[in-house]
Chains A and B, each alone.
Chain A
């Protein structure tokens, strides 16, 4: 199975900050990497697919980059509604695997 490792596990940030979350795969997954946002009591939502493509309806302050084994999700100008847990997930192989999550909390 492909292991996905995110860092950090949690971070504190303020509204307006720029936040960066990294995700590392245990083997090359080309650009088969997706990012999700998950808020308590709600369903996860797809933000980024294929490493850098913005899902329809997702604000442009979310950007994804990377290929191979190292990926990044950047949130520019953090908004109050962005405080949530973020997960990366590979779509290169079965079984699909997720990172352990990064919780973005209010400073």
Chain B
């Protein structure tokens, strides 16, 4: 069945960068976009942005503009999310999910990766 497998947990110091990978399987990689959502401890779900795996176009939440870069590698069918200038409040579980491209979409994010815990601590 369709799955998204993410890279393992990371511990980073403030100011560093982290790059999380997400590898989907069991569907044509370029037929869907990949979105990234995070959940800080005790908080709800926060949308970070998404990338078209077809042409690499991105849309980032304003909160993360300038600090986040989402990319894909079609040769390895892997998506990446890099977050720079990490702060303690970036400590969260980061999820990737398959997303139908477009603005007006009659569909949700499905399925999701297992999540990657990123801990930012000095």
- CB of A32 within 8 A of CB of B44, answer no
- A43 engages B95 (CB within 8 Å): yes
Would you call A91 and B115 a contact (CB within 8 A)?
Answer: no
Contact A100 B106, CB 8 Å, known A44-B112, A94-B59: no
Return B122 CB to nearest CB of chain A, in Å.
26
- Shortest CB distance B66–A (Å): 15
Q: Which residues of B contact A100 (CB under 8 A)?
A: 44
Query: Which range contains the number of A residues in contact with the other chain?
Result: 20 to 34
B57, chain A: closest CB distance, angstroms:
11
Residues of B in contact with A (beta carbons under 8 Å apart):
35, 37, 44-47, 49-50, 59, 61-62, 95, 97, 103-115
Partner-B contacts on A (CB < 8 A): 31-32, 34-36, 38, 43-46, 49-50, 53, 55, 87, 89, 91-101
